[in-house]
Structure 1
Amino acid sequence: MIAQTPQPPYYAVIFTSVRTETGDGYSEMADKMVELAKKQPGFLGVESARNEIGITVSYWESLEAIRMWKANIDHLEAQLLGRKKWYKTYKTRITKVERDYEFDGLKS
């Protein structure tokens, strides 16, 4: 599902990863992190896709909201587990969205 974001500016955290073969507990933790992020001040939405690489983009009102999410104790635990068992490699990028536009052929 495409996240419904407000008018720019806002921020995007782009998390790109390659997983290990160990799937044990990953899906449950990923679902838990999305639910937890939704409760964080400044959270705007999330989009995710996975094939050979996984890409998750979360949207935030501010850099401070992103810092608070990164420092969340449950998120810190998930980050540690990710490094220990679920990811071969990952990269996080943070960017300011200054403009967005869309096509929605589903709207009448």
Structure 2
Amino acid sequence: MYVVIFRAQIRELDGQYSTTAARMRELALTEFGCLAFHTVSEGQEEIALSYWPDEASIQAWKNHPEHLLAQQLGRDRWYASYRVEVAQITRQYAAKIS
């Protein structure tokens, strides 16, 4: 399993951002095999974590026409800067605490 870590410095978000972000999340989860997608914002920082079964799924998602347009809008309008990291998860565990 892989995780894509997207970190951004927010310039300004608008109504189109919310609609676009929801659509991108939906596409990733329903059409590209994304296993989970979580986004948090605090102040001017945003972090999104998306989990994927393989690198081919990540590449297909990255190159999808709607996602390419969203990336361009992010660079032009919404973000002052961003960084993307892709990491392979080699171990995971969980515990249920009663």
TM-score by shorter chain over 0.5: yes
1:93 aligns with 2:85: yes
Correspondence for 1:104: 96
Correspondence for 1:6: none
Q: Which has the higher helix share?
A: 2
Q: Which runs of 5+ in 2 are unaligned?
A: none
Aligned length: 97
1:38 aligns with 2:34: no
Shift >3 Å, 4+ stretches? none
Correspondence for 2:75: 83
Give the TM-score normalised by the residue count of structure 1. 0.83
Q: Which runs of 5+ in 1 are unaligned?
A: 1-9
What is the Cα deviation at residue 22 of structure 1?
4.1
Correspondence for 2:16: 25
1:27-69 deviation digits (Å, cap 9, x = unpaired): 1111110011112233111111100311100010100110000
Matches of 1:42 and 1:23, distance apart in 2? 28
Candidates 44, 47, 60, aligned match of 1:55: 47
Moved more, 77-86 or 96-105: 96-105
- Identity percentage of aligned residues: 35
Q: Aligned-pair RMSD on alpha carbons?
A: 1.3
